[in-house]
Amino acid sequence: MSGDPDPRYVLHRVTPSEWVINDRRYESHDPRHVVASVYEYADTEVEVVWLRDLPLAVRYATATEVLEEVTRVQDSSRATRPIAIPHLPPLLSN
């Protein structure tokens, strides 16, 4: 993890075998606040139910690994500046 003192995504344990990942950009009453539910599938595996359209796996080794993956994917999507599109003058009509 980056060690960000105020991370956008946080992992909250709900039960001994269930977690949720929250997006702190949204208020808790906003449906977009919960990104995923993570369930312990086995001692060394968790299963994820994504509540957002993210191109990520449904099984990971740990809940922390899921959080790291969400953070990595969301941060990388904003890592580059917008690409400038050259504008051409209008064609002259004869």
Q: Structure tokens of 25?
A: 């950009």
Q: Does 21 score more than 70 pLDDT?
A: yes
Query: How confident is the model over 38-64, as a mean pLDDT?
Result: 94
Q: How many CB atoms lie within 10 A of CB 60?
A: 19
Q: Which residues pair with 48 in a beta bridge?
A: 38
- With a pLDDT cut of 70, the percent of the chain lying above it is 86
Contact by Cβ (8 Å): 56, 73: yes
Contact by Cβ (8 Å): 35, 46: no
Terminal-to-terminal C-alpha distance of the chain: 61
Q: Give the span between the Cα atoms of 21 and 10, in whole angstroms.
A: 6
Q: Does 22 score more than 50 pLDDT?
A: yes
Q: pTM higher than 0.95 for the full model?
A: no
Q: How many CB atoms lie within 10 A of CB 62?
A: 15
Residue 6 pLDDT grade (very low, low, confident, very high; cuts 50, 70, 90): confident
